[in-house]
């Protein structure tokens, strides 16, 4: 006897997430059609996921290279933050536009174009001669990533069917979850190896041979699907892009540069100005929707149950995650004298636990996931609190630091990993792509804000220069991160109660239907 109400989280989540690719594209490749059967599906999946992983790594791989960049290029604290954040700023601003362009021009075309641009920009970063050049090429990297990465989910949708698609999605989730932290580890390995005496440069140059090989394989294997020629979703929301971009820049740039520039007047003007710019963006989006066009931020998506609190929860968690990684990497090397390799490996426990939780959370029964997300964030807050005594006296806790990293990755992963997928459960298939893009953009923008705000807090509290900060700066950062994580836990609790009410309402409806 079938029991649909007892479907696992994996089954429910897979049905929803798999629909987030372009529905019009999905119609072009029928699940049971012989023409839809891909050649070398394993090679296709490996190609797009390695490209995806490579771009995710570059969001964090540079963190452990910052002291070397500071030494070789004489970069300021603000310059180091821009090297780290410039990539994610460009990515966050243009991610949704990249997804829309894929629908218009073809997902495989945009993947290859983004991969080519990313590879060339990586080469340019690797040979940069000063901080200004490095920041510029990092932004170009971010633009290329925004073109390439949104195509991965759609390529999985159009290439795989049934159980193969579910497995591909699980692999995609694991890559998404672990990419940031693995970047820290790999960065440490490359900087310590000091290949050819190039110091920090291999952190970027390693992308070049990988990118070339991936492009050749992608050109030979990726399925080509002609994009649809009609529909509101086949136009770029230029007005939205032109108003969202300055809004984000007005918020982030003062946060990144303010400390090093001693908080100038122009910084405060930009921060205040970001509020009316946000209002302007929302007004523009409403007008775009009223015309029957497809805005970057569809209002109907935000009105779906659970979407807004999920966005806030994801934003807060990623602020803590990215900001803590950025500051801790600088602190371990600058204040405690860790090598780049030792610093990178210090994050391995966090990467392992975060990745495993993100891969296996789908096996948790659906009715327990929301409750465990709350518990996970509380565990994450405790792990952040445990950092305070570890750092405040100038140490790092020895072996307990690594245990704490393991616990932190577990808690944050359990709180964050299911939220994006579960947020899509109540979104219609026609809106699923926009909802997924909105959630992904939120996560990327949160990384920028995390580096800017928590990074600025660390630099402001630390005596002297950023690379010679004291333990009490990390203790202050840990207090702030703990507080933000607790706020995220409040939203997790709200989502749990909302989910419980929806289940009760569904059960009541089912009972009434049975009685009738």
**In terms of C-beta density within 10 A (0-12 exposed, 13-18 middle, 19 or more buried), how is residue 33 classed?**
exposed
User: Is 232's pLDDT higher than 60?
Assistant: no
Please report the beta strands in 370-480, taking only residues with DSSP state E, as ranges in sequence order: none
Using alpha carbons, select from 61, 66, 88, 56 the residue that is nearest to residue 186.
Answer: 61
| Mean pLDDT across 167-172 | 74
**pLDDT, mean of residues 179-202:** 82
Phi/psi zone of residue 38: left (φ > 0), alpha (ψ -120 to 50 degrees), beta? Answer: beta
Q: What pLDDT shows up at residue 117?
A: 96
What are 103's two structure tokens? Answer: 């629908």
Query: DSSP letter at 129?
Result: -
Q: Report the half-sphere exposure of 122 (CA within 13 A, side-chain side).
A: 26
| DSSP, res 59 | T
Q: Exposed, middle or buried, 360 (CB in 10 Å: 0-12/13-18/19+)?
A: middle
Nearest to residue 328, comparing CAs of 346, 341, 353? 346
Reported as a pLDDT band with limits 50, 70 and 90, residue 274 is very high
Which of the pair, 434 or 125, is modelled with greater confidence? 125
DSSP secondary structure code for residue 233 in this structure: G
Q: Find the helix packing angle between 307-334 and 162-193, rounded to 10°.
A: 20
- Reported as a single tens digit per residue, the pLDDT across 388-400 is 999 887 788 888 9
Distance in angstroms (rounded) separating the CA atoms of residues 356 and 354: 6
Look at residue 15 and tell me whether its pLDDT is greater than 60: no
**Average pLDDT value for residue range 44-57:** 90
Q: Are 8 and 365 in contact (CB under 8 A)?
A: yes
- Which of 312-321, 467-476, 477-486, 494-503 comes out lowest in average pLDDT? 467-476
The percent of residues in the chain predicted with pLDDT above 90, rounded, is 25
Query: 33 falls in which pLDDT band (50, 70, 90)?
Result: very low
| pLDDT above 70: residue 129 | yes
Q: Model pTM?
A: 0.77
With 90 as the cut, is the pLDDT of residue 215 above it? Answer: yes
Q: Give the list of residues 6+ apart from residue 132 with CB closer than 8 angstroms, or none.
A: none
Contact 342, 191 (CB under 8 A): no
Per the model's pLDDT, the better-predicted residue between 206 and 14 turns out to be 206
For residues 199-209, average pLDDT: 92
Contact 313, 492 (CB under 8 A): yes
Residue 285: which pLDDT band, with cuts at 50, 70 and 90?
confident
From the list 280, 278, 336, 318, the residue with the least C-alpha distance to 439 is 318
Give per-residue pLDDT as tens, 351-376.
788 878 877 777 777 667 778 889 99
Check whether 211 has a pLDDT greater than 70. yes
Across the chain, mean pLDDT equals: 79
Q: Residue 484 pLDDT > 70, yes or no?
A: yes
Kindly give the residue spans of alpha helices, DSSP state H, lying in 58-161: 66-73, 77-105, 107-126, 131-148, 150-159
At residue 251, the pLDDT reads 83
Longest dimension (CA), the chain: 78
**In which band, very low, low, confident or very high, does the pLDDT at 428 lie, cut at 50, 70 and 90?**
low
The dihedral sign for the CA sequence 267, 269, 275, 278: negative
Is the pLDDT assigned to residue 107 strictly greater than 90? no
Q: In the prediction, which pLDDT does 217 show?
A: 94
Q: Give 197's DSSP letter.
A: G
d(CA 136, CA 326): 20
Mean pLDDT of 469-488: 89
Per-residue pLDDT at 95: 78
Q: Which among 260, 339, 314 has a CA at the least distance from the CA of 450? A: 314
Which two structure tokens, joined as six digits, stand for 362? 């789908």
Identify the sign of the CA torsion 246, 316, 182, 20. negative
**Res 172: pLDDT:** 77
Q: What confidence score (pLDDT) does residue 13 get? A: 44
pLDDT of residue 14: 42
Which of residues 149 and 6 earns the better pLDDT score?
149
Alpha carbons 459 and 70: distance in angstroms, whole number: 15
Query: Residue 4's pLDDT is what?
Result: 43
SS3 385: helix
Identify whether the C-beta of residue 218 lies closer than 8 Å to the C-beta of residue 43.
no
Position with higher pLDDT, 403 vs 495: 403
The burial class, CB within 10 Å (0-12 / 13-18 / 19+), for 337 is exposed
Give the residue with greater pLDDT, 378 vs 449: 378
Ranked by mean pLDDT, the top range of 29-43, 72-86, 453-467, 484-498 is: 484-498
Which pair of tokens denotes residue 473? 């700066």
The rounded percent of the chain whose pLDDT value lies above 70 is 82
Domain boundaries, the chain: 11-29+40-226+296-506, 238-295
Question: Tokens standing for 267?
Answer: 């910084």
CA distance 408 to 383: 5
Greater model confidence, 318 or 394: 318
CATH no. of 11-29+40-226+296-506: 1.20.1250.20
The C-alpha atoms of residue 414 and residue 409 are separated, in whole angstroms, by 8
């Amino acid at each position: 006897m079938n029991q649909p109400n007892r479907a696992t989280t994996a089954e429910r989540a897979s049905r929803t997430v798999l629909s987030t690719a372009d529905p019009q594209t999905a119609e072009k490749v029928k699940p049971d059609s012989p023409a839809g059967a891909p050649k070398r599906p394993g090679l296709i999946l490996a190609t797009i996921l390695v490209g995806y992983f490579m771009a995710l790594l570059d969001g964090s791989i540079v963190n452990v290279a910052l002291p070397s960049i500071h030494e070789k290029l004489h970069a300021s604290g603000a310059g180091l933050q821009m090297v780290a954040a410039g990539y994610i700023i460009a990515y966050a601003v243009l991610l949704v536009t990249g997804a829309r362009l894929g629908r218009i021009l073809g997902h495989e075309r945009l993947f290859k174009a983004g991969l080519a641009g990313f590879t060339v920009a990586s080469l340019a970063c690797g040979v940069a001669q000063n901080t200004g050049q490095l920041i510029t090429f990092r932004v170009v990297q971010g633009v290329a990533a925004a073109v390439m990465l949104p195509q991965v989910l759609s390529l999985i949708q159009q290439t795989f069917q049934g159980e193969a698609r579910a497995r591909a999605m699980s692999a995609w989730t694991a890559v998404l979850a672990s990419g940031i932290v693995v970047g820290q580890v790999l960065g440490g390995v490359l900087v310590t190896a000091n290949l050819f005496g190039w110091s920090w440069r291999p952190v970027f140059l390693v992308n070049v041979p990988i990118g070339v090989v991936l492009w050749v394989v992608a050109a030979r294997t990726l399925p080509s699907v002609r994009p649809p020629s009609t529909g509101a979703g086949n136009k770029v929301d230029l007005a939205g892009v032109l108003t969202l971009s300055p809004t984000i820049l007005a918020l982030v740039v003062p946060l990144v540069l303010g400390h090093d520039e001693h908080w100038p007047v122009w910084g405060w003007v930009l921060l205040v100005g970001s509020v009316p710019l946000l209002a302007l963006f929302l007004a523009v989006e409403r007008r775009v929707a009223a015309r029957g066009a497809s805005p970057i931020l569809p209002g109907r998506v935000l009105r779906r149950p659970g979407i807004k609190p999920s966005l806030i929860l994801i934003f807060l968690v990623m602020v803590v995650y990215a900001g803590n990684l950025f500051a801790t990497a600088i602190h371990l090397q600058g204040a405690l004298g860790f090598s780049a390799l030792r610093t990178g490996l210090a994050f391995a426990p966090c990467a392992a636990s975060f990745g495993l939780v993100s891969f296996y959370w789908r096996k948790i029964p659906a009715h327990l996931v929301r409750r465990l997300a709350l518990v996970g964030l509380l565990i994450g807050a405790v792990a952040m609190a445990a950092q305070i005594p570890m750092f405040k006296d100038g140490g790092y806790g020895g072996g307990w630091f690594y245990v704490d990293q393991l616990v932190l990755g577990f808690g944050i992963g359990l709180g964050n990993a299911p939220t994006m997928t579960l947020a899509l459960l109540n979104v219609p298939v026609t809106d699923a792509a926009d909802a997924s893009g909105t959630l992904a953009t939120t996560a990327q923008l949160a990384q920028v804000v995390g580096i800017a705000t928590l990074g600025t807090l660390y630099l402001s509290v630390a005596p002297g220069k950023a690379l010679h900060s004291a333990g009490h700066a990390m203790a202050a950062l840990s207090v702030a991160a703990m507080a933000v994580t607790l706020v995220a836990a409040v939203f997790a609790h709200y989502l749990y109660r909302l989910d419980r009410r929806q289940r009760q309402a569904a059960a009541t409806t089912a009972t009434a239907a049975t009685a009738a």
